[in-house]
Amino acid sequence: MLALALPWLVTSAAAQATAPEYGVRAGLGGNTTLAHNHFSYALPPGGATLHDSVVVSNFTDAPLSFAVHGADMVGAQGGGFAPAAEGVAAKLVGSWLAVSRPAITVPPHQELSDAFTLVVPAAQLPGEYLGAVVVARSGGGAAQGIQVLTRAALTVDVTVLGRVDLHAAAGPLTASQQRNEVHFTVPVSNRGNVLFTFTGVVTVRDGSGRVAATLPVTPANLYVIPGGHATVTAVWRGAPWWGSADAVATIQARVAGGAQATVRSDPLHLGFFPWAVVVAALAGVAAALIALVVLSRRRGFRPAVT
Amino acid sequence: MTPVRKGLLAARRPRRVAVLACISAATLAAALLPGHAVEASTQGSAQTVTATVVAGTLTVAAPPALATNLTPGQTNSGIALGSLVYTNTLNDGSSWSVTATSNDWTSLVGGNIPFSGMSIAAGGTINGAVGSTGTPSAGAGGALTGTDTTPGTTQSNPVTLATGTSSVQGVYTQTGSTISVTVPGGTATGVYTGSITYTITG
């Protein structure tokens, strides 16, 4: 509460902050190889739609409500930066963002993912634009007097491209065998100037050229920023004990609302030979032979007679 | 008797050799067959440890309300804002900021204390919790500015309380921040409401 009063009544009664009540992070935080673990996109103008999400965590014993929205970034007096204030109409990145749930309530000690899309307008000039996904605590302040509100904002860095150069590369494809499973790994690199998402498969052909398996790579729909890379995997279960095969990774890269490209890795030759079984069989045969020799010698033995 | 004994010993020797050969072959086969070797390797006393570092987070916490008395016709300086606790463990390679804004404070009888008469001084004491790496720099603070389109609703432009480089990661408590409020002469006495907003951006 704040009141105007006589000079000798001027006092201050600010309390101390408690432990953090909530936190935010990018939906793919910790799961990408992006150079920046936040929302960093390079996109062409004109209808390019990108899908992502923000995760809001509640560290308290009670439900917490939040307002989630996009905002333009503004410079702050004193050298910092911040998203525009609540209620200020966005004109750039903030207006390109659309959150699927603008008001959320997160249960105690849980987290909630809120998806959003980002669309770059068709007439947007090339350049780098900064904005933010803002998570504002709602209903947390005092009912009267001077409320203190808090917001946590994740930076959204959008580079609008003038010329789109979609250039993806896949490989080298590698594999490791674990019992009768073959685990494939393939890095996917972005050598162009535009962010792309991708899906892909590893196709395995047997020695006669027939398709033995078509394996989707995981995780699917990762996005890769220009200059970045992501590594995906695929598992071939039920690989043969004997024979050979060739594997190729096929990656389909897509620019949101725009170009597509398909790239393939160099083929990887796989050879299968049941070494353990063969060695065990040979050991058994050797043991049988030794036993036969020994027994035949025993049959030929003539004990001495006095 | 001696030759008989020799004959018995000689007859046992090949049987032992055959048995040993079979045992050796079986042991070799068992060791080479997949699966058995894995089981044998778990016989030791070593404990397998799998540790996962979870994704970081961005938080800010502040006292829920400000309560103070103000004197009209002068600048009321040094009003403590309390301690501010914020966290940045995103490790996203980006610099980050903690800022503050305020709107006008208004009363039910029409009184108005504009944010243009307010200024915030950033607290110079910033302590990192155990495990924090580096310390943010206290911001310069400053007077609140901005276009006050809707008095009582419009927030001021932000002022910086602290900034951190990308390598500054952890949980921090900033104390000593204050706000100064100039109350115009003739401002109506009474209870005023408003809001101060803290934002962490990373």
pLDDT higher at A234 or A145: A234
First to last CA, chain A: 124
- B17–A290: do the CB atoms touch at under 8 Å? yes
* A146·B192 Cβ contact <8 A: yes
Which pLDDT value is given to residue A32?
54
For residue A77, the 8-state DSSP code is B
> Which residues of B fall within a CB distance of 8 Å from A147?
64-65, 193-196
Residue B198 distance to chain A (closest CA, Å): 5
- State residue A143's pLDDT score: 61
A269 touches B: beta carbon within 8 Å:
no
Contact A181, A175 (CB under 8 A): no
pLDDT of residue A116: 96
Residue A231, both tokens: 């590594």
- Give dist(CA A190, CA A248) in Å, integer: 19
The token pair at B40 is 């044998």
C-alpha–C-alpha distance, residues A76 and A85, integer Å:
11
Interface of A with B in 116-145 (CB under 8 A): 132, 134, 140-142, 144-145
* pLDDT tens track for A79-136: 788 999 998 999 999 999 999 999 999 999 999 999 999 999 988 988 889 999 999 9
Q: What is the pLDDT of residue A298?
A: 75
pLDDT above 70 (res B7): no
Instruction: Identify which of B60, B159, B194 has the shortest CB distance to residue A77.
Output: B159
Indicate the residue type of A295.
Answer: L
Question: Tens digits of per-residue pLDDT, B23-68?
Answer: 555 555 444 444 333 333 344 678 888 777 677 899 999 988 888 9
What does the pLDDT read at residue B32?
Answer: 45
DSSP string, A2-39: EEE--GGG--B------S--EEEEETTTTS---SSSSE
What does the pLDDT read at residue A41? Answer: 86
CB contact (8 A) between residue B63 and residue A74: no
Q: Domains in chain A and their CATH numbers?
A: 16-160 (2.60.40.10), 168-273 (2.60.40.10)
Within 14-53 of B, beta carbons closer than 8 Å to A belong to 14-15, 17-18, 21-22, 24-26, 28-29, 32-35, 53
Of A46, A142, A136, A13, nearest in space to A82 by CA: A136
Chain A hits for B65, CB-CB cut-off 8 Å, are 1, 15, 141-142, 145-148
Of B21, B143, B156, the CB nearest to A287: B21
Nearest Cα to A148, choosing from B184, B94, B26, B61? B61
User: Between residues A48 and A70, which one has the greater pLDDT?
Assistant: A70
Asked if A12 reaches chain B (Cβ–Cβ under 8 Å), the answer is yes
For residue B141, give the chain A residue with the closest CA. Answer: A78
Chain B environment of A25 (Cβ under 8 Å): 55-58, 90
The one-letter code for the residue type at B199 is T
Answer yes or no: is the ipTM higher than 0.95: no
Using the beta-carbon criterion (under 8 Å), do B62 and A148 form an inter-chain contact?
A: yes
Taking only the tens place, the pLDDT of each residue in B70-125 is: 999 999 999 999 999 999 999 888 889 999 999 999 998 999 999 999 999 999 99
Residue B51 vs residue A15, higher pLDDT: B51
pLDDT value of position A179: 81
Say yes or no to pLDDT of A202 above 60.
yes
> b/e string for A149-175 if b means 16 or more Cβ within 10 A?
bbbbbbbbbbbbbeebebebebbebeb
Nearest by Cα to A23 from B60, B167, B54: B60
Instruction: Confirm or reject contact between A3 and chain B (CB < 8 A).
Output: yes
- For residues B77 and B119, the answer to whether their CB atoms sit within 8 Å is no
Give yes or no for a cis peptide into A172 (omega within 30° of 0).
yes
**β-sheet with B84-88: strand ranges across:** A97-99, A111-120, A48-58, A22-26, B58-61, B84-88, B170-175, B125-128
- 8 Å CB contact of A151 and B198: yes
Minimal-distance CA residue of chain A relative to B97: A80
Please give the average per-residue pLDDT across B171-200, as a whole number. Answer: 96
Shortest Cα–Cα distance, B48 to chain A (Å): 19
Q: How confident is the model at residue A59, as a pLDDT? A: 95
Mean pLDDT of the region B118-138: 96
**For A254-297, what is each residue's pLDDT tens digit?**
886 678 999 999 999 999 888 878 888 899 999 999 988 888 88
pLDDT band at A48 (very low <50, low <70, confident <90, very high): low
CB contact under 8 A, B58 and A85: no
Instruction: Quote the pLDDT of residue B177.
Output: 97
